[in-house]
């Protein structure tokens, strides 16, 4: 197995956060193959090296990845203080996982869930420009003037670029858009900027993942090979 930094391994294994892992190493609480390691840059082979934290072995955590076809009416939190339904009432798997980003309660489509924090961070980080494709139904027709302005939209938290916009019906109320970032409620905010209301929103794809053949409310496990391919596809862009 490829060697990895000790602090990253501790985080990946669930022993601590990446930041706290440095403190553990500095404090001499980490032993690798019988020797105390205080070097933050020290690399290990997770399959061969024995890592101990305060006398207990740290074992690699098995990462899992799921592709869920989110239905409308569910929020993407583990629990909700306001009593709203959450996806975890219907999405039940043996592992404790969390969503990669969020979808609004009334938004449907692609939702990734995992216990791999590094993968989640990679997918959500703006610098990686991971594509998200949406089907949008609006409350009124788009005008040609608005269509031109949708290429680059100034929101309160910065500029959003719409990479592709496709009109899907003669009334110009159904469109497909492609973004390469995932700010909070970004699609609805883009159209609200021009006094349009999104009355239906469906995420078609996120990176290379699509729910075209997955029934609403169902999910599939994603092979690790597909996860690696997705990372390889976007990590150098």
Catalytic residues: 104
What are the tokens at 75?
Answer: 């929020």
Q: How do beta strands 51-53 and 56-57 pair?
A: antiparallel
Bridge-partner residues for 31, per DSSP?
A: 36, 52
Bridge-partner residues for 137, per DSSP?
A: 174, 200
Q: How do beta strands 43-44 and 164-167 pair?
A: unpaired
């Amino acid at each position: 197995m490829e060697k990895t930094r000790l602090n990253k391994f501790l985080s990946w294994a669930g022993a601590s956060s990446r930041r706290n892992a440095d403190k553990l190493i500095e404090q001499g609480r980490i032993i690798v193959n019988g020797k105390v390691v205080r070097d933050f840059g020290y690399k290990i082979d997770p399959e061969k090296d024995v890592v101990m934290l305060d006398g207990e072995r740290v074992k690699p955590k098995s990462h899992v990845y799921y592709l869920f076809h989110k239905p409308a009416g569910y929020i993407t939190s583990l629990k909700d203080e306001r009593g709203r339904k959450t996806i975890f009432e219907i999405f039940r798997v043996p592992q404790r996982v969390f969503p990669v980003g969020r979808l609004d309660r009334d938004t449907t489509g692609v939702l990734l869930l995992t216990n791999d924090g590094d993968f989640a961070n990679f997918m959500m980080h703006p610098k990686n420009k991971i594509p998200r494709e949406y089907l949008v139904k609006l409350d009124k027709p788009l005008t040609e003037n608005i269509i031109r302005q949708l290429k680059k939209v100034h929101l309160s938290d910065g500029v959003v670029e719409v990479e592709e916009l496709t009109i899907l019906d003669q009334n110009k109320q159904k469109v497909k858009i492609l973004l390469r970032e995932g700010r909070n409620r970004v699609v609805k905010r883009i159209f609200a900027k021009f006094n349009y209301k999104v009355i239906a929103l469906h995420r078609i794809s996120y990176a290379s993942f699509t729910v075209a053949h997955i029934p609403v409310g169902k999910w599939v496990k994603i092979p690790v090979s597909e996860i690696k391919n997705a990372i390889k596809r976007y990590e150098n862009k």
